[in-house]
Amino acid sequence: MTTTGEAVPVVEDVVSPPTEKAPPKVVGAMALAQFGLSVALITPVTASLTIKVQSIVGEDNVVAVFGMVSSVGAIAALVANPVFGRISDRTTGRFGRRRPWLLLGVVGLALSELVLALVPNVIGIAIAWFAAQAFANAAQAALLASVADQIPTAQRGRVSGLIGLMQQSSKLGAAFVAQWLVGSLLLMFVVPALIGVLFLVPFLLLLPDKQLTERPPSEGLRAVLKTFWLSPRKHPDFAWAWGSRFLITLSLYLFMTYRLLYMQYELGLSLERAVAVLATAVTVYTVTLALAGQAAGWLSDKVGRRKPFVIASALIFGLGMAMLVQADTVTGFYVAEVILGLGFGVYIGVDLALVMDVLPGLNDSAKNLGVLNMAQVVPQSLAPAVGAVLVGIGGGHNYDLLLGTAAAVAVVGGVMIFPIRKVR
C-alpha cells in the first residue's frame, strides 16, 4: 500500500481500516438513518407509486406503465450510486466525505416525492421518480460507505444484520403508511419523505466523518470508466458475490414489484383489502426476518463463516416463492411470507458482511460499493420489464410463472457463493 507522492500519508490515514468497534450511538444512528431512507424510497415502490399510476392510466394499463416508470427510476439508481460514491470518496470539504451527500440525497429525495404526489401525467411521474432514485442513491452510497469506514471486520456480521433489518423493516413501515394514508396520495408520498429526513438527522450529527484534506490524484478518463467496473479477473471473489446478489435481488423484486397486483388478481382482493393484507403480511415477514437476521449475523461473527448462511438463505427464500405459487388464500399467503422472511432474514444478516470482507480496498470503498449496488439496481430495472413479460404470458395474469421463475433465480444466486475463496 505504498506509493509516491505527498498526499499518501493523509489519504491512508483517512481510509485506513477501522480497528476498534464503533460506539453503540453511532451504530444506532446508522441503523436509524437506513430505516428512514428506506421508508422514504420503499413506500412508493410498495404502494403509492402503483396507486398513483393506476389512478391515471386505469387498471388495464397499470402493469405496463408501472413497469416502465420503475425501470426509468432504476436506471437513475444504476448511474447515481457509483457516481456519487466516487464523488464521496474524493470529497475534501470540512464536513467530511459522507455527510454532505447524505444531506443532499435525503433532501432531494423528499422534494422529488412531493413532485411525484402533484404531477398529473405519466411523463411527470417518470421524471420525478428518476430524480427521486438519483437522490436516494446519492445518500445510500454515502451511508453504506460509512459502514466500511466505521465498522471493523469483527463487528460487521452484527452491524450487517442490523442494517439489513432496517432495510427490510422499512417495508413494514411502508405498508402501514400505505394502509393509514391510502385515502390521500399527497400524504402517502410526503409523510415517508419527512420520515427519511428526520431519521437521518441523528446520524448527520453523530457520524465521526473524517475530513479528507487532500483529494487523491486524478486518473482522467480511466477513472471515469473504473467508476462502473471492477475486473472479475483481478477480483473474482467480488465478482461471484456481485453475481449472487444480482440474482437474489432479481428474485426478490420479481415478486415485490407486483406483490400488490398479485394479491388483487390471484387472491381476488379489492385494492383496500389488498393494502390491509399487505400490512399484515409484511408485519409477519418482518418479525420473522428480524429474528432470523440478528441470529444469523451474530452466529456468523461467532463461527467466522459467511458462505453457508448465504447459500441456505437463498434455498429457503426460493422455497417461499414456490409456496406462493400454491397459495390461493390469504392464510396461505401469510405462511409463504413467514418462509420468505426466514430466508431473506438469514441473507440480510450475513450478505453485507460477506461483501465487506471481499471488498477490493478502502481507498475507493464508496465507489466499489457503488459497483456492488449495481447488483441491486440492475435487477430492479429488469424486474418490472421481465415481470411484465412473465405475467403477460398465457392471458395477462400468469403470476405462477412469475413466482416459479423467481424461486429458480434465488436458488442459482445461492449456488454462486460456492466459488468464493477469501471468505469461508
Cell 458462505 identifies what position?
Answer: 307
- Planar angle of CA 160, 133, 219, nearest 5 degrees: 80
Where do the structural domains in the chain lie, given as residue ranges?
A: 22-206+232-415
- Planar angle of CA 213, 219, 224, nearest 5 degrees: 105
Nearest-angstrom CA–CA distance, 174 and 176: 6
Nearest-angstrom CA–CA distance, 277 and 20: 44
* DSSP conformational letter for 364: T
Query: Can you read off the three cell numbers belonging to residue 30?
Result: 446508522
- Planar angle of CA 387, 69, 401, nearest 5 degrees: 5
- Quick one: which of 247, 243, 245, 230 has its CA closest to 368? 230
Query: Can you read off the three cell numbers belonging to residue 150?
Result: 466505521
- Quick one: which of 200, 193, 198, 40 has its CA closest to 110? 193
Nearest-angstrom CA–CA distance, 110 and 344: 28
- Planar angle of CA 97, 365, 351, nearest 5 degrees: 125
Tell me if 414 sits within 8 A of 311, measured CB to CB: yes
* DSSP conformational letter for 61: T
Task: Write the DSSP string, 147-214.
Answer: HHHH--GGGHHHHHHHHHHHHHHHHHHHHHHHHHTTT-HHHHHHHHHHHHHHHHHHHHHH-------S
Query: Can you read off the three cell numbers belonging to residue 213?
Result: 484534506
Burial environment of residue 392 by CB neighbours within 10 A (0 to 12, 13 to 18, 19 or more): middle
Instruction: Please tell me the predicted confidence (pLDDT) of residue 5.
Output: 39
Q: Provide CB contacts within 8 A for 152, sequence distance 6+.
A: 17, 18, 19, 20, 21, 22
Cell 420468505 identifies what position?
Answer: 340
Q: Provide CB contacts within 8 A for 184, sequence distance 6+.
A: none
Q: Which fold has domain 22-206+232-415?
A: Growth Hormone; Chain: A; (1.20.1250)
Query: Can you read off the three cell numbers belonging to residue 322?
Result: 414456490
Nearest-angstrom CA–CA distance, 372 and 78: 10
Nearest-angstrom CA–CA distance, 207 and 200: 11
Query: Can you read off the three cell numbers belonging to residue 395?
Result: 392471458
Instruction: Please tell me the predicted confidence (pLDDT) of residue 165.
Output: 76
Nearest-angstrom CA–CA distance, 310 and 290: 16
Tens place of pLDDT per residue across the chain (424 aa)? 333 333 333 334 445 666 677 888 988 999 999 999 988 888 887 678 878 888 888 777 777 787 788 778 878 887 887 788 778 877 887 888 888 999 999 999 999 999 998 998 989 999 999 999 999 989 988 888 888 778 877 777 778 778 877 877 787 777 777 778 877 888 888 898 999 999 999 999 998 877 776 666 665 555 555 555 666 677 787 788 888 889 988 988 888 878 878 888 878 788 888 888 888 888 888 888 888 887 887 788 777 778 888 888 888 988 888 888 888 788 888 999 899 989 888 887 777 777 777 766 555 555 666 677 777 777 877 787 788 888 888 776 788 888 889 889 988 988 888 778 776 6
